[in-house]
A and B are shown apart, each in its own frame.
Chain A
Amino acid sequence: QVQLVQSGAEVKKPGASVKVSCKASGYTFTSYYMHWVRQAPGQGLEWMGIINPSDGSTTYAQKFQGRVTMTRDTSTSTVYMELSSLRSEDTAVYYCARGAPKWELLPGFNYWGQGTLVTVSS
């Protein structure tokens, strides 16, 4: 069965960076794009960006351009999201999420990681 397992909670100081991992299993890793979505406490869902595990190409939401880097390791079927220059407003649960196969071009994320809480506090 499809599983997306994320790394554990992190506490970081303002100005630091955080790197969250998402290990995929149960499907062909390179056949599906992976997205990152975050949710601040009591707030809505915010799309951060997408990575193509086949070639590592990325597209980031304009809000995070210059601060976010998404990478992948095909040998371990893992994607990573690194966010730098952290500030208190970055305190949130970060999710990886997967949708339909690339060739189906359908909207919607039907598999999500369990979420990783990142707390930014001095």
Chain B
Amino acid sequence: DIQMTQSPSTLSASVGDRVTITCRASQSISSWLAWYQQKPGKVPKLLIYKASSLESGVPSRFSGSGSGTEFTLTISSLQPDDFATYYCQQYNRTFGQGTKVEIK
């Protein structure tokens, strides 16, 4: 099975910061990667699909990049609404363990 490893597990940042989360696959997954945002008690929300395509309605400060085994999710200027947990997922299967973005 393909394993997905996210880093860091927790990230402390301030409003306006540029934030980058990394997701590594145990073997190549081409661009078959999605990113989600989840807030406590809420359903996950799709942000990015196919590694770098922005889901409709998602603010442009979110971007994704990478292919093969290494991927990144970047928030260009962190907003108060962005404090949440972020997950990557490969091939509509395995999720990463999550990255919690906290207020610094």
Contacts and interface: CB of A to CB of B under 8 A. Distances in A.
Interface in A49-91: 50, 61-62
A87 B36 CA distance: 28
A50 B92 contact: yes
B87 A44 contact: yes
A45 B49 contact: no
B91 A95 contact: no
Contacts of B33: 107
Interface in B54-104: 55, 87, 89-98
Contacts of B87: 44-45
A69 B48 CA distance: 30
B7 to A, nearest CB: 14
Interface residues on B, range: 20 to 34
A112 B50 CA distance: 18
Given A44-B98, A45-B95, A62-B1, A108 B43 contact: no
B86 to A, nearest CB: 11
A82 to B, nearest CB: 20
Given A44-B95, A46-B95, A62-B1, A108 B89 contact: yes
B69 to A, nearest CB: 15
A115 B50 contact: no
Contacts, number: 61
B46 interface: yes
A71 B95 CA distance: 23
A44 B92 contact: no
A45 B34 CA distance: 13
A122 interface: no
Nearest to B97: A44
Interface of B: 1, 32-34, 36, 38, 43-44, 46, 48-50, 55, 87, 89-98
21 contacts: A37-B95, A44-B87, A44-B95, A44-B98, A45-B38, A47-B89, A95-B44, A100-B49, A106-B50, A107-B34, A107-B50, A107-B90, A108-B34, A109-B34, A109-B36, A109-B92, A110-B46, A110-B49, A112-B43, A112-B44, A113-B43
